Amino acid sequence: MKIVGVEAIPLEVPLNKVFSGSGYRVQSRNTVVTRIRTADGLASAVYNGDNRAHGRQIARIIEDELAPLVVGRDARQIERLWADMFRHSIPNRDRKLLMEAIACVDTALWDLLGKSLGAPVATLLGGFRDRLPIIAIAAYYEDGKTLADLAREMRWLRDEAGMAGCKVKVGGLSAEEDAARVAACREGAGPDFLLAVDANRGWPVDEAVKFAGLVERYDIAWFEEPCHWYDEAAMMAEVRRQTSIPVNAGQSEVSSHGVRRLVAAGAVDLVNFDASEGGGPTEWRRAAALCAVHGIRMAHHEEPQIATHLLAAVPHGTYVECFPDPERDPLWARLIQNRAAIAGGMIEVPQGAGFGLELDWALVDKYRLDR
């Protein structure tokens, strides 16, 4: 399993409309495809991340800094390779970009290990279950979108997209205005559809607590990243004390050490640490183990092509997230030629070797940024 080549391909697909959360606007779908080849003819086929601005920089870190560390070495020695890559985080630099670059390489290495053994990554990591509930990330702020539109969107997600639930964007308006949006979503979805809310760090504690009090009646599965970034562990712990809604966070952390900080603060009931943001499946396993011994459920931010395997591997895995609207995620709709089956709100764990992805390389060539 000697590594003979590493290629990182940044992609950007322009979107036909703008999707907004509490503090951001999405106008393109971006990712990095990572190809690692071995001397015995194996090649990875994975993609990571939804970073909307830095794909070229991540690809350069992979090819200029990380590839020289791994080429010529045994692809099966994942922990050793990870430790050597992580040493590049110690000097002062943009560590978030480096951890995303490490995630790309690490994910490709797990894909190769699975291919070498003829087993899915979910099996290699524990193989606890072979299917999971899947929910949508939707109900964005969009120009002209009404409460009736939100209700219709929930019905479409339930009846046509086959989702088990939806994570609703909040935090961009007042507590009262966003509570009305959540009420419309519950009206459209009906009682048996999971609803979670995601403020993307949009509110101070008092507004988050006010909002939680207004929406508790709608059976909310979790309140994600309710508070501003600068003291969010302490702030979320306070929100958690004042509401019955479970608190979810972790997607903004770039290492398991950041997750430990949230756990130690008593800030979370669920952790949605993102393997594509925080060093790959190797580091995600560490965060998952930490959460397991503290009785905290494990989620994953976006990336269903990766998250399905990770969450299925552990007993405390919860819901896979996706963008079922092809306008929001044309890659999930078109890049994977053998996408896992979704029915009745459940997604099957791919049984192919590695991550089991067959990518559309013509689409990669069309949207790559390095040519």
What are the pLDDT digits (tens) for 87-142?
999 999 999 999 999 999 999 999 999 999 999 999 999 999 999 999 999 999 99
Q: What is the mean pLDDT of residues 63-88?
A: 98
pLDDT at 351: 96
Task: Check: pTM over 0.95? Answer yes or no.
Answer: yes
End-to-end CA distance of the chain: 30
Question: Does the pLDDT of residue 371 top 90, yes or no?
Answer: no
Q: In whole angstroms, give the CA distance from residue 5 to residue 132.
A: 34
State pLDDT tens for residues 244-281: 999 999 999 999 999 999 999 999 999 999 999 999 99
pLDDT at 340: 94
pLDDT at 95: 97
* Order of strands, sheet of 46-48, starting from the edge strand that comes earlier in the sequence: 3-20, 25-38, 46-48
DSSP state of 94: -
Give the pLDDT band (50/70/90) at residue 231: very high
Q: Which domains does the chain have, with CATH numbers?
A: 3-118+359-367 (3.30.390.10), 123-348 (3.20.20.120)
Long-range contacts, 332-338 (Cβ 8 Å, 24+): 332/304, 332/305, 334/360, 334/363, 335/47, 335/359, 335/360, 335/363, 335/364, 336/305, 336/360
Contact 46, 5 (CB under 8 A): no
To which residue do tokens 């925080």 refer? 278
